[in-house]
Amino acid sequence: MKYLLLICSDGDGFDATPEELDAQPWVDEMTRRGVRLTGNRTRDAEDATTVRVRDGAVLTTDGPYAETKEQMGGFDIIECADLDEAVEVASKHPVARYGMIEVRPFWTE
């Protein structure tokens, strides 16, 4: 299944150094694994799962993260066997430790 990863801050940017936010190692690993793709339409926000990593624990929330005004900083499109694998991939993105990654499934035709 294809998923859109919305890369977001919690509203005031990222409290991290550029080196800590360097996504190139993640991009390289996900490209090597064959899960990083491009473009498609997404389902409505209520179908989303939000993933955050705090103190090494992967936290998920059903639906969009609406507690603060988040700022989208980028996106990735991935293809995974299921939502569990998509959450695992998102949790490895460096921004998950400082902001959040929303995992949204694409429509299937």
Residue of 36 and 12 predicted with greater confidence: 36
Q: Which domains does the chain have, with CATH numbers?
A: 2-105 (3.30.70.1060)
What single DSSP character describes residue 107? P
Residue of 50 and 35 predicted with greater confidence: 35
Confidence class for position 85, pLDDT limits 50, 70, 90: very high
Chain centre to alpha carbon of residue 94: 10
pLDDT of residue 106: 92
> Is pLDDT at 40 greater than 60 in this prediction?
no
